[in-house]
Amino acid sequence: MTVVDDPIDRLRAVARTVLAVGAAGSLALMISAGRHNRSIVLILLFIGWVSSPFIALAVLDRWTMRWSPTTRSVFYWLMAAAAAGSLGVYVFDALRPRPQAAFFYVLVPPATWVIGGVVLALAAAMSRRSRIR
């Protein structure tokens, strides 16, 4: 077992854990919400759709070592917030079921993509600006 000394590495470890829990919980809630749907193809499409932000964040995590510490830190906070936020919305939906169960499962992934892209772009711009000065 390795000891993590750097605060950014600790943040990364926490963010990765939150991302895994968020992905698993989100998929479990999505499958539960769609349990009455008879279309296996539709369920598989929703699995891909709901998991896409989590997969993208996990893939981006592999490239973060090249980023500035500020951008990395923002990214790890974004990972944790996206996972916790998605899971929170899906739990809310599970506790307050509606006739259209798919609404949140269609809306949350693109919202995560857009918000995440804006946050990362701003963090990268701020990091570049601080390096220039």
Measure the CA–CA gap between 66 and 91, rounded to whole angstroms. 35
- Average pLDDT rounded to a whole number, residues 46-53: 96
> Given this model, what pLDDT does residue 132 score?
64
Q: Quick one: what percent of the chain has pLDDT higher than 70?
A: 94
- In this structure, what token pair is assigned to residue 90? 């899906």
Distance CA 71, CA 98 (A): 39
Tell me: pLDDT of 122 over 70. yes
Among residues 21, 13, 8, the alpha carbon closest in space to that of 82 is found at: 21
- Of 24, 22, 32, 21, whose CA–CA distance to 97 is shortest? 32
Residue spans of the domains in the chain: they are: 7-132
H helix or E strand, kind and range, residue 79 = helix 69-95
pLDDT in tens, 50-97: 999 999 999 999 988 888 888 899 999 999 999 999 999 999 999 987
Q: Kindly report, residue by residue over 87-115, the tens digit of the pLDDT.
A: 999 999 999 877 777 889 999 999 999 99
Q: Taking the alpha carbons of 113, 55, 69, 76 in that order, is the dihedral positive or negative?
A: positive
Give the distance between the most distant pair of CA atoms in the chain: 59
Q: Write down the pTM of the prediction.
A: 0.86
Question: How would you classify residue 114: left for phi > 0, otherwise alpha for psi between -120 and 50, otherwise beta?
Answer: alpha
User: Does residue 42 surpass a pLDDT of 80?
Assistant: yes
The per-residue pLDDT of the chain, averaged, comes to 90
For residues 29-50, average pLDDT: 91
